[in-house]
Structure 1
Amino acid sequence: MRILYLHQHYSGPQGATATRSHAMATALTRQGHHVTLLCGRYAGAVTGLIGGYNRGQREGLLRGIRLVELDIPYDNAMGLAARAAAFARYAVRASRLALSQRWDLVIASSTPLTVAIPALLAQRMRGTPFLFEIRDPWPELPAALSGLPGPVLAGMGRLADAACRRAGAVIALSEGMAQTALARGAEPGRVHVVPNGCDLELFGPHVAPWRPAEAAPWEALAVYAGAHGRANGLDQLLDAAGLLQARDERRLRLLLVGDGAEKPRLMARAGEMGLANVSFLDPMPKRQLAALLAGCQIGVQCLAPVPEFAEWTAPNKLMDYLAAGLPVVSTLHGRAGRLLAEGPCGIAPPPGDAATVAEGLAASLAWLAGHPAQRAAMGRAARDQAVRRWDRRLQAARFAEIVRLAAARPATETALVPA
């Protein structure tokens, strides 16, 4: 099949951000499909393409994928207007490509939700079936964060309704996300859950460990690797670090790796608090991150205290921690809490107000720092769960099968012009 894969935030293995779309596109090419993947310039991503842009794009054949990169920059520190402009520009360019050629299937991977626009246009104008992937449920999560005006959320809701109802298949990363698709009118038989998976070759006990220079030999390292945005709630980690320092807990150092709009403020706050047990590190390529995780003793999963996050999120960093064999301390309950209970391979402190959460995080981190044998047992359980349940190769095979089913289903509405 000739497949157009739309993911604005794509990165190859050399980048510092998620590589799910790379893994899925690679699996499709290995099955003999011809995949064209259209992306933009996402901060932290590395596509592998070199050279300048010609008429706003550059392209090449990399690892069997025809990759087209648009000169549309985007990063998580952008303001709302700049983000919206980047999403709109990508949707326009993607629509042109979707309508200019004959495709057997369009894959629209959200976020941003605007990626559904070219898929819907291609279906309506050329009868091209499409698969809609929900990596984060929009507008449900923005509404929970109260970050967008009501009319914008209403418009996003109508777009999400159309995408869910008209897609040949909907892939959600969690059961909670799948429920949002069903609530928007998706046919139950077309909704599938394909969660984030573990890259067992990149992360694991076979990787040589690396520790930053500021880490003392006696310190257990607890690492948070991910975005530093409002949704991540990283003030909770600083509060916990403050409690640990006040109690003269010297066995643990907290590493915050990544970037985002909140990072300058968080660094300033850590300085004001005098936190000597916190280090901020720049985003790093996945292979370097794998070495860092191999040199750490604890993985930290953190999101803002928004109830909807419990079932509506599927952070890839959790999969990286499990693959690396790290016990995890998480502020998330729901799906993430259930994963950690298996084994067990981590601790999810009780929810509550800011003081309760900070106390729970501090207590959990201190316990793991002071109990190396139990910590190691949890780490082994984490790696075992990664191998048994979350091997990305198995997820990719399932994804490819759903792609085949979606392409075989007729469009729900007659095309306006012949394909």
Structure 2
Amino acid sequence: MHILYIHQYFKIPSEPGGTRSYWVAKRFIEEGHKVTMLTTSSSIQEKIVHKTIDGIEVIYLKVPYNQNMSIMARVKSFINFMIKSTRLALKVKNVDLALATSTPLTVGFPALVLKKLRKIPFIFEVRDLWPEVPIQMGGLNNKLLQKLAVNFEKSIYKNAKHIVALSPGMAAGVLKYEPQEKVSMIPNMAKIDAFWPREKNKQLQTELGLRTDSFKLIHFGALGLANGAMSIIRGAEELKEDTSIEFIFIGGGSTEEELKNYCQKHQLKQVHFLGRFPMEETSEIVNFCDVSMVSFKDLPILYTNSPNKLFDSLSAGKPIIVNSAGWTKEMVEKHNCGVYVNPHQPTALAQAIKSLQVDDTLKNEMAKNARKLAETTYDKSILCDQYASLIAAGN
């Protein structure tokens, strides 16, 4: 089977960012399928670049995008890719199945066109419940546009052969419109061979300007509006006088400068913004930290999130502090691999951090449980098998 995989932000392991589509595509190839990945790159010079990467035929379109873009610039990028990818998708020969993975929702448009014009079925993967996310975040306020976007969402779901959601909350959002048998939940993936507990790299800590004897908390990944990382900074402010603790941010996004400026203004010298790193170095940094923090803005729609950093933290064997009152809260509490802290209570965050710092037994038990959960439930080998079975079953 020839699968046309449409993902605007496709990344390979040597690049910063989520690699779910890479691993899924690789598993399809192992099953004997041919995979053509249709994606974007801001760095290419030509309008279109073809590459074969680990058996995946990747078509890169030159469509700029980054986390620091304004809302209007992002919308322009989404529409640009929607138009260009649709034109190119229609030219790809002998396609048997399309797989479009959001966000944004516009990624579903080329798959929809392929079905209408070439009778090619498609699977739609829901990584965020658009347009509800931008509506609740205030990025889509026009009532007419909201209605049009919701109708577009319903049309994609209706025309999809099958829908894969990345969390129970996302699946519930789809089930408002589609029957149970049409929807599967395959969450984001842990990578137990890429993130794992090992001896801490003290040399790298020193090179990055960090202490080797401090208690370290890490937030890695995007620092966009949806991440609400100021809640972590407020917690750090509560611990301002405690020199035994360091807060580390790796990644970046639209709120990064605001966070940096706040830390500078309030002399939060224990907070470090280290920038972006490829997965191998990210793994080293996460490994020498003691606790991972997964932060989101306090909006009901974001309770459905399925963040990469959560599953990489499980793989790394780190206790996880979450501030989203959804399924991730239920997960860390049920499996005793972390704690939930209300994002509006910085004092509670500070207390949770100190509790983990002083109680090695608790911290080590949570770390062990996190790794076990990654190995037995969320590793990419397990979830990619589920995806391959979905395809084999004809969905």
- Would you call these one fold, judging by a TM-score over 0.5? yes
Of 174, 183, 187, which aligns to 2:179? Answer: 187
For 1:401 and 1:187, how far apart are their aligned partners in 2?
Answer: 20
Q: 1:154-233 alignment to 2 at 5 Å?
A: 154-183=147-176, 185-206=177-198, 209=201, 210-211=204-205, 213-233=208-228
1:93 matches 2:84:
yes
In the other structure, the counterpart of 1:271 is 264
Shift of residue 361, structure 1, vs aligned partner: 1.0
> What is the identity, as a one-letter code, of the residue corresponding to 1:380?
K
Counterpart of 1:412? none
- C-alpha displacement of 1:330: 1.2
CA distance in 1 between partners of 2:89 and 2:392 (Å): 19
Higher mean C-alpha deviation, range 331-340 or range 104-113: 331-340
User: Mean alpha-carbon deviation: is it higher for 164-173 or for 89-98?
Assistant: 89-98
Q: 1:300 maps to what in 2?
A: 293
Which residue in 2 is equivalent to 1:76? 67
Q: Could you tell me which of 220, 231, 236 is aligned with 2:231?
A: 236
Tell me the equivalent position of 1:413. none
Q: In structure 1, what residue type is equivalent to 2:365?
A: A
Secondary structure in 1 aligned to 2:239?
helix
Aligned-partner residue type, residue 13 of structure 1:
P
Aligned partner letter, 1:262: T
- Is 1:347 equivalent to 2:335 in the alignment? no
- Provide Cα deviations, 1:133-192, integer angstroms capped at 9, x if missing partner: 001110111111122132332222111101111111000001110111111x22321100
Which amino acid is the alignment partner of residue 82 of structure 2?
A
TM-score (norm 2): 0.95
Task: For structure 2, list consecutive stretches of 5 or more residues without a partner in the other structure.
Answer: none
The corresponding residue for 1:130 is 122
User: Does the 8 Å contact 2:42/2:62 carry over to 1?
Assistant: no
Which stretch has the larger CA shift, 372-381 or 168-177?
372-381
| Counterpart secondary structure, 1:39 | strand
Maintained 8 Å contact 2:71/2:139: no
Counting matched residue pairs gives 390
Q: What's the counterpart of residue 142 of structure 1?
A: 134
**Moved runs in structure 1, 4+ residues, more than 4 A?**
none
Pair 208,70 (structure 1): closer, same or farther in 2 beyond 3 Å: farther
Q: Distance in 2 between matches of 1:180 and 1:106?
A: 22
Q: 1:207 to 1:279 in 2, by over 3 A?
A: same
Partner secondary structure for residue 173 of structure 2: helix
Residues 8 and 42 of structure 1 are in contact (CA less than 8 Å); yes or no, is this contact kept in structure 2?
no
Contact 1:252/1:366, CA 8 A, preserved across alignment: no
Amino acid at match of 2:275: D
Structure scoring higher RCO (CA < 8 A, sep ≥ 6) equals 1
Deviation at 1:208, TM superposition (A): 5.6
- Classify 1:317/1:73 alpha carbon distance in 2 versus 1 (closer, same or farther; 3 Å): same
For the residue of structure 1 that corresponds to 2:24, the secondary structure is helix
Q: Supply the distance in 1 between the matched residues of 2:335 and 2:175 (Cα, whole angstroms).
A: 31
2:367 alignment counterpart: 379
Q: What residue number does 2:319 align with?
A: 327
Superposed CA deviations along residues 249-298 of structure 1, whole A, max 9, x for unmatched, are 22211111111111111100110111011111101101100001111110
Q: Residues 67 and 84 from structure 1, CA distance in 2 versus in 1: closer, same or farther, beyond 3 angstroms?
A: same
Q: Secondary structure at the match of 1:73?
A: coil
2:129–2:301 Cα contact (<8 Å) kept: no
Judge conservation of contact 2:40–2:62 (CA < 8 Å) in 1: yes
* Identical-pair percentage: 27
Partner in structure 1 of residue 255 of structure 2 = 262
**One-letter amino acid of the structure 2 residue matched with residue 397 of structure 1:** D
Deviates more, 1:334-343 or 1:265-274: 334-343
Letter in 2 for 1:126: R
Query: How far does residue 53 in structure 1 lie from its aligned partner after superposition?
Result: 4.2
Residue 372 of structure 1 deviates from its aligned partner by: 2.4
Map of 2:11 onto structure 1: 11
SS of the residue aligned with 1:137?
Answer: coil
78-87 vs 379-388, greater mean Cα deviation: 78-87
**Deviations, residues 98-123 of structure 1 (Å, cap 9, x unaligned):** 22233100001010110111111110
How far residue 207 of structure 1 moved from its aligned partner, in angstroms, is 6.9
Per-residue Cα deviation, 1:371-406 (whole angstroms, up to 9, x for no partner): 22321221111101111111111101111222334x
Measure how far apart 1:218 and its partner are. Answer: 2.3
**What is the CA–CA distance in structure 1 between the aligned matches of 2:263 and 2:249, rounded to whole Å?**
11
Contact 1:207–1:290 (8 Å) recurs in 2 = no
Identify if the C-alpha distance between structure 1 residues 42 and 174 changes in structure 2 by more than 3 Å, giving closer, same or farther: farther
Q: How does 1:244-255 map to 2 (within 5 A)?
A: 244-245=239-240, 248-255=241-248
> After superposition, what is the alpha-carbon deviation per residue over 1:220-274, rounded to whole angstroms, capped at 9, x for unaligned?
11000011111111111111111111xx322211111111111111100110111
CA distance in 2 between counterparts of 1:252 and 1:373 reads: 19
Amino acid at match of 2:214: E
Could you list the runs of 5+ residues in structure 1 that have no partner in the other structure? 44-51, 410-419
Letter of the aligned partner of 1:396 in structure 2? C
User: C-alpha displacement at 1:66, in angstroms?
Assistant: 0.2
Contact 1:258 1:281 in 2 (8 A): yes
